[in-house]
Amino acid sequence: MNRIQRYQNVLRNSFAILFSIFLSTAQAATNMENQKMENSYLSMLSREQSVLLITEHQVGLYTGVRDITVAELKHNIVALAKGARALGVPVILTATMTDGMWGQVIPELTAALPDVPIIVRTKINAWDDLRVVEAVKKTNRRQLLVAGISLETCATYPAISAKAAGYDARVILDASGTFNEAKRTSGLARLAGAGVPVMDYATAIIEMLRDNADPKANEVYGALDMPFATLVWQVTSGAAKK
């Protein structure tokens, strides 16, 4: 083998080694990114990737809620819906047996979402209704926020079903409600076991806001309707005018 051939072999081998290292590094980075996407506890909510699913916030079911006051639950779900809309996050509204014992969706919520149609179903798990699944798919978003009554069924079932389908699902705890402590405890345990995080409504919205310098920040904090946030914005606005 002459000198030129030896040199060519060295170059080929060097290139093969470098290419192999490049592929390994790229694969490792891809695996790490996939792992982050699969683990909802590691991924931050994004307004561009999120969609809100509200299930069974109906008049009849509110009469049985015991883990949170009715007034607080109504406040939180309306604030969540308004905050989502302020950020451009799509909202899907679904209910069961609205002409039966569960009653209509609470008027406070329909007033906050006048242009959002209600998907009325018979299936207990909202994710078992193809219209709900198609509505989520149509948004082309992968982060699903769920708020429902009751927590351990109407919020938990679609959340873990969506998780199994590859979505980054979260349950909004203080915009969901249930009928006793045992149901609340069992629902939270099942969500934890399925790797579905729970969040409060304000944290979820603020996580999607990301930056208090965002032009929508004032509108978002107003939608959240938290007393301390309202006070802060009043003070800030007053100071800015001086």
Sort 166 into a burial class: Cβ within 10 Å, 0-12 / 13-18 / 19+.
exposed
In 3D space, the residue among 209, 241, 71 whose CA is nearest the CA of residue 229 turns out to be 209
Same domain, 102 and 158: yes
> Dihedral through CA 205, CA 210, CA 211, CA 216, nearest 10?
-40
- Number of separate domains in the chain: 2
Provide, rounded to the nearest whole percent, the portion of the chain with pLDDT above 90: 74
CATH number at residue 198: 3.40.50.850
Same domain, 158 and 111: yes
pLDDT averaged over the chain?
87
pLDDT: is 92 or 33 the higher one? 92
The reply to whether 106 falls in a domain is yes
Same domain, 200 and 107: yes
The pLDDT tens digits of the residues spanning 170-213 come to: 999 999 999 999 999 999 999 999 999 999 999 999 999 999 99
- CA–CA distance, 34 with 56 (Å, rounded to integer): 33
Q: Is 154 a catalytic residue?
A: yes
Q: What is the mean pLDDT of residues 19-41?
A: 54
Same domain, 77 and 56: yes
Confidence of residue 25 (pLDDT cuts 50, 70, 90): low
Confidence of residue 39 (pLDDT cuts 50, 70, 90): low
- CA–CA distance, 135 with 90 (Å, rounded to integer): 10
Residue 19 structural domain: 1-38
Catalytic residue among 61, 81, 91, 154: 154
The pLDDT tens digits of the residues spanning 78-88 come to: 999 999 999 99
- CA–CA distance, 58 with 64 (Å, rounded to integer): 11
Confidence of residue 33 (pLDDT cuts 50, 70, 90): very low
Confidence of residue 101 (pLDDT cuts 50, 70, 90): confident
Same domain, 61 and 94: yes
Q: Tell me: pLDDT of 134 over 70.
A: yes
